[in-house]
Structure 1
Amino acid sequence: MSKFAGTATYYSRYRPGVPSEVAECLISEANRYAPATTLLDLGTGTGQVIEALHQNFRDIIAVEPDVEMINLAKKNIRVIISSETAISFYNCQAEEFLPPINWTASLVTICRAFHWMDQEKTLRHLSKYVSPTGAVAIFGDHSFWRANSPWKKAVRKVIQDFLGEQRRAGECVFSHHNRPYSEIIKESPFSDVTKFNIPVHRTWNTESILGYLYSTSFASRPLLGERLEEFESTVRRTLAEFSQDDTFEEENEFMIRIGRKK
């Protein structure tokens, strides 16, 4: 079973998209040395990166291994994309993707997905398909699992009570790298690394928090199974202790790491 089985609809509706400030940073970096025309988005999910950037590219490729995710991405993106922009979808792992002959990317984007990939192999593989002036952008914000406020900590405790102390990744336990992405990129063909951190403020309510949780690999509805209703009522009771008007403030940030060939 996919780590994200049953999450695609919630991912599309409740996962925060790419903020305009992040999109502007990515476009600026993509055009730093030459006009950017081609975009390769790895780990497309339901298409949020392409939704934010599509107007700036004439040729886009989306790569996503989860069938439910990529099918929803096709629906989401084809509604908004211009007929003048070519777009292709590949249902495969990032490390296995093969572009059309002579196709190269001006910008490669990997948002909230690099931790699922064979990182060194992916970067080596990309070196063959990125233009000499192109860039690889690896970026994302902090998940709810990284609790940095009282209400988030309380929600994480509920998840742990239902699914165990260790963070889940579908039917498995989540295993995260312990090295900064910038170090990993510096050891790759894209060793010229630039860093950006862009703060993000969000306001949530109980429904959007539950929707977000159901979009994750660590608290999806299939994982909760027969305890789903019990879990949901427990989250609602827990959140009610932290707000009288059902609003929950979050301070987050997007960490962007841009790699280029030297």
Structure 2
Amino acid sequence: MNHPAPSHTAPDPVDPPPLSGTMARAYARFRPRVPDEVAWLLADAVAGMPAVTLLDLGAGTGQVAAAVLPALPRIRRVDLVDPSRAMLREAVLALHPLMGDRSLACHETPAEHYAARGPACRADLITCARAFHRMDRAAVLAMADRIAAPHTVLALLDDGPVLAHRSDWAGPLRELIHSSLDPDHSPARPSPRSAQHLHYESDLAGSAFSDVSRHLFRFPRTWTPQQVIGCMRTTSCARPERFGGQHAAFEAKAARLLETYASDGLLTEQVDFTVLLARRPRGAR
């Protein structure tokens, strides 16, 4: 198995600062996994291909590949693209037991700057999970057109921002976060995502991948209170530095709040997980 050192590209000046190793480990530990049902959908989308190269854009800690590899044993190569070296390190650690004799390469660069190196890197399945809203979407889709094989499937996966799902505890937790923030700290930039309205079809309609199907998975997701608190540390709205030295006090209040909503130690939310599968129109392949 190959684990090349992440290839370096200078970050875009408007990109956020690189994530620390501590934050990357929190992402790996606390961010929700990609559901098995989604992994099987992606495997079915490339049925009939004898060997598959997976390109994951905004790969983070490797959650997409970790879900898809068991469902799609025909994967021969995985390329992970992310601007954070710390996130890619976590991805390599997570994927190492799953790779076997398959190749794994990491590319430390924003997705729009990625360039495939040789025919072996031409992707059959391109994925982007929970990150497309942060990218230059037109540039990413143009890049995908340049490096994709004629039959490539492009999959956009998203379940909206944390705390956007239907539950009895998300609203009170949002209110607690808002009341606990350092008043001198500038507010977090609102996310353009929504758990109910993730409409990237207009972006895809103007791209080479204009043959689009939408798939919606609805399911309950459970957390422990400490898992929710850990996940909050990875969000723009509740990162520790936003609390003006009072983050520990906030987490203690959050733990007490969430315990009042827990049943048998668990919190439940109803999740809408959207997958857009996009291909080139049949006549254009």
Same fold flag (TM > 0.5) = yes
Aligned to 1:2: 17
Show the 5 A alignment for 1:74-223: 74-82=92-100, 84-102=101-119, 103-163=121-181, 173-176=189-192, 180-223=199-242
1:53 equivalent among 45, 58, 68: 68
Report the 3-state secondary structure (helix = DSSP H, G, I; strand = E; otherwise coil) of the residue aligned with 1:128. Answer: helix
Matched, 1:15 2:31: yes
CA contact (8 A) 2:167 2:268 kept: no
| Paired letter, 1:124 | A
Higher RCO structure, 1 or 2 (CA under 8 Å, sep 6+): 1
CA distance in 1, matches of 2:198, 2:86: 31
Partner of 2:128: helix, strand, or coil? strand
Q: Secondary structure at the match of 1:254?
A: strand
Pairwise CA distance, 1:67: 2.1
Q: In 2 relative to 1, CA 197–3 (structure 1 residues): closer, same or farther, beyond 3 Å? A: farther
Aligned length: 256
Q: In 2, Cα distance between the equivalents of 1:3 and 1:216?
A: 14
Structure 2's unaligned 5+ residue stretches are: 1-15
C-alpha deviation, 1:36, in angstroms: 4.8
CA distance in 1: counterparts of 2:263 and 2:55, whole angstroms: 44
**Shift of residue 48, structure 1, vs aligned partner:** 0.8
- The 4+ residue runs of structure 1 with deviation greater than 6 A are none
How far did residue 133 of structure 1 move? 0.8
CA drift at 1:244? 5.7
Residue of structure 1 in register with 2:5 after alignment:
none
* Aligned pairs (5 A) from 1:31-50: 31=47, 34-50=49-65
Q: Is the 8 A contact 2:155 2:276 kept in 1?
A: yes
Letter in 1 for 2:236: S
Following superposition, the deviation at residue 157 of structure 1 comes to 1.2
Quick check: 1:11–1:216 contact (8 Å CA) kept in 2? no
Code of the aligned partner of 1:110: C
1:30 corresponds in structure 2 to 46
TM-score by length of 1: 0.89
Distance 2:233 2:151 in 1: 39
User: Per the alignment, do residues 175 and 248 of structure 1 end up closer, same or farther by CA in structure 2, a change over 3 Å counting?
Assistant: closer
Moved more, 1-10 or 133-142: 1-10
Shift of 1:215: 2.4
Q: 2:133 & 2:25 partners in 1: Cα distance?
A: 22
User: What displacement does 1:41 show?
Assistant: 0.4
Can you give the 5+ residue segments of structure 1 that lack an aligned partner in the other structure?
Answer: none
- Partner AA of 1:42 in structure 2: L
Q: Determine the C-alpha separation between the residues in 2 that align with 1:181 and 1:227.
A: 38
- The match for 1:250 is 269
Counterpart code for 2:211: D
Offset of residue 4 of structure 1: 4.6
Q: Which letter does structure 2 place at the counterpart of 1:65?
A: P
From the superposition, tell whether residues 179 and 209 of structure 1 become closer, same or farther in structure 2 (CA, over 3 Å).
closer
8 A contact 2:160–2:198 mirrored in 1: no
Give the 3-state SS of the residue equivalent to 2:146 in structure 1.
Answer: coil
RMSD over equivalenced CA pairs, Å:
2.3
- The 1:224–1:30 alpha-carbon spacing in structure 2 relative to 1, beyond 3 Å, is farther
- Whether contact under 8 Å (1:206, 1:239) holds in the other structure is yes
**Secondary structure of residue in 2 paired with 1:135:** strand
Higher mean displacement: 136-145 or 235-244 = 235-244
SS in 1 for 2:216: strand
TM-score using structure 2 length: 0.82
Q: CA deviation at 1:164?
A: 7.8
Contact 2:182 2:242 (8 Å CA) reproduced: no
Matches of 2:83 and 2:180, distance apart in 1: 28
